[in-house]
């Protein structure tokens, strides 16, 4: 039965300021502005403690794919907790939800046979990187340890994932980072394409990767890790052909491909996984977020039969895993969440509404401060610039991100705003009318901030 909860908002704000250490937040500014406290969600909308409803244009943190308020997921969690709240997958133990979710994922990603679970994206990428190194060590090539990733990549904030992340702001003052991580250019046409055709731009990126591999020596490189569509680092969909050319180079040099599908997995790009959207297959796939639509934390990695064959050897224990690898409650919710995605074919809505969103955002290109708009499925970005002809970005001192955030929130829209633009990633259930509402709020907010 749904309960009506009463909150003492003033007390919550006081306690937040006194005790909650917020991640990825300007802590000084937070002490001045206080928190935005959210208390309820239904469909694509969330309500704050003051009773105001917002369109959740960011689906939480790119993860609430099936939308808010799905009580069937709460029931599945409660039932699993009552029956058996926890047993590990260590030491060969298992629970029905962990087994069944692994089996379900092997249907959705048929090039992967085996799945190991984690509690989130960073843990998944740590796991993927360690599996890649372990694979080469057990293949008699223990010197293959380096990891290549791309600038603008976001792979999470645990030390290994952080070293693979290509966003300097996340590295600053947290060093030293572990050695052995290299970065190549992002396929970011707006600033990195010097005016070439799409196929020549791909060739340029391919040449850079070849040169990097040649310089380091392919015998020293374990894996290339990449988001099929870069997310937090600036929302970069790849140019046509990119995901055909890059895997070929990796194969030629015996470098494993890790696809970080933490955002793109579970429908967001218009197919269940972006590897299907772009027609390629990784050796290892990491996932999180959409696997449970954020109702409980869960992530994991899938590997090919070939990788699994190498790492399952009579003389070795696989000495990696988290207490919550395969948490039965999380896996039960994952299964029920995937059942919703499949029943409602939500990837199809992501493709359809994603087209509507991108066409709508393209109309904003007339705006004097909108430099670029780009997206794939239900992930999109409006890049703002101070000067369109030079593509000069706004200085952080201008506080554009904070102004865009205030303007959109005032109008009842939650999106991720920073000094370079607005990222949009709504639940995959969003309706045509809600996309229009979002577009009109975005247009009005840009008008206000840049008036
Ligand atoms: N990879 C990608 C592509 C992500 O977007 C994120 C989170 N935004 C992560 C990894 C890290 O996931 P988590 O925050 O769950 O550790």
- 233 in ligand 1 pocket by Cβ < 6 Å? no
**What is the dihedral angle through the alpha carbons of 38, 42, 44, 45, rounded to the nearest 10 degrees?**
-40
ipTM > 0.85 for the complex: yes
- 416 in ligand 1 pocket by Cβ < 6 Å? no
Q: Which of 260, 447, 451, 425 is nearest to 358 (CA)?
A: 425
Q: Which of 257, 290, 245 is nearest to 108 (CA)?
A: 290
Domains of the chain are 36-66+346-449 (3.90.1150.10), 72-343 (3.40.640.10)
Q: Is a pLDDT exceeding 80 seen at residue 244?
A: yes
Ligand 1 centroid – CA 294 distance (Å): 12
Computed over every residue of the chain, the mean pLDDT equals 97
- 108 in ligand 1 pocket by Cβ < 6 Å? no
Q: Which atom of ligand 1 is nearest to the CA of 161?
A: 10
Which pLDDT belongs to residue 1? 41
HSE-up (13 A, CA, CB side) for residue 169: 12
- 246 in ligand 1 pocket by Cβ < 6 Å? no
Average pLDDT over residues 398-426: 97
Q: Which atom of ligand 1 is nearest to the CA of 230?
A: 3
The pTM of the whole model exceeds 0.80: yes
pLDDT digits (tens, 9 = 90+) for 248-306: 999 999 999 999 999 999 999 999 999 999 999 999 999 999 999 999 999 999 999 99
- 265 in ligand 1 pocket by Cβ < 6 Å? no
- 288 in ligand 1 pocket by Cβ < 6 Å? yes
pLDDT digits (tens, 9 = 90+) for 193-232: 999 999 999 999 999 999 999 999 999 999 999 999 999 9
The pair of three-digit structure tokens given for residue 430, joined into one six-digit string: 């969003």
- 120 in ligand 1 pocket by Cβ < 6 Å? yes
Helix (H) or strand (E) holding 108: helix 96-108
Ligand 1 centroid – CA 262 distance (Å): 6
Contact call for residues 244 and 281 (beta carbons, < 8 A): no
- 270 in ligand 1 pocket by Cβ < 6 Å? no
Q: Which atom of ligand 1 is nearest to the CA of 123?
A: 16
């Amino acid at each position: 039965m749904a309960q009506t909860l009463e909150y003492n908002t003033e007390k919550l704000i006081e306690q937040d300021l006194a005790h909650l250490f917020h991640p990825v937040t300007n802590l000084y500014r937070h002490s001045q502005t206080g928190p935005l406290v959210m208390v309820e969600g239904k469909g694509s909308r969330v309500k704050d403690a003051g009773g105001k409803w917002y369109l959740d244009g960011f689906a939480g943190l790119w993860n609430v794919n099936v939308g808010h308020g799905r009580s069937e997921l709460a029931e599945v969690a409660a039932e699993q907790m009552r029956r058996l709240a926890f047993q590990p997958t260590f030491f060969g133990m298992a629970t029905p939800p962990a087994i069944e979710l692994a089996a379900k994922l092997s249907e959705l990603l048929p090039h992967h046979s085996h799945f190991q679970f984690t509690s989130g994206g960073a843990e998944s990428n740590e796991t993927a990187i360690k599996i890649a190194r372990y694979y080469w060590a057990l293949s008699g090539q223990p010197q293959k340890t380096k990891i290549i990733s791309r600038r603008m990549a976001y792979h999470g904030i645990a030390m290994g994932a952080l070293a693979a992340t290509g966003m300097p702001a996340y590295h600053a003052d947290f060093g030293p980072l572990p050695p052995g991580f290299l970065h190549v250019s992002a396929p970011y046409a707006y600033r990195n394409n010097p005016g070439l055709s799409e196929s020549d731009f791909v060739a340029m990126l391919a040449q850079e990767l070849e040169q990097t591999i040649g310089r380091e020596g392919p015998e020293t490189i374990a894996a290339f890790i990449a988001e099929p569509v870069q997310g937090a680092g600036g929302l970069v969909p790849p140019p046509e052909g990119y995901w055909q050319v890059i895997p070929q180079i990796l194969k030629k040099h015996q470098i494993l491909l890790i696809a970080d599908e933490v955002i793109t997995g579970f429908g967001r790009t218009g197919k269940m996984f972006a590897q299907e959207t772009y027609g390629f297959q990784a050796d290892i796939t990491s996932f999180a977020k959409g696997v449970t639509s954020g109702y409980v934390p869960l992530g994991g990695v899938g590997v090919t039969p070939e990788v699994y064959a190498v790492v399952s050897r009579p003389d070795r224990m696989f000495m990696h895993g988290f207490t919550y690898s395969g948490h039965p409650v999380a896996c039960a919710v994952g299964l029920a969440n995937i059942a919703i995605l499949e029943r409602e074919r939500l990837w199809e809505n992501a493709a359809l509404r994603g087209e509507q969103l991108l066409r709508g955002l393209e109309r904003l290109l007339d705006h004097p401060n909108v430099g670029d708009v780009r997206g794939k499925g239900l992930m999109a970005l409006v890049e703002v610039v101070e000067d369109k002809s030079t593509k000069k970005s706004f200085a952080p001192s201008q506080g554009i991100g904070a102004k865009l955030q205030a303007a959109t929130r005032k109008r009842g829209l939650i999106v991720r705003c920073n000094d370079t633009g607005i990222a949009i990633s709504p639940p995959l259930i969003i309706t045509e009318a809600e996309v229009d509402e979002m577009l009109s709020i975005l247009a009005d907010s840009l008008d206000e901030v840049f008036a």
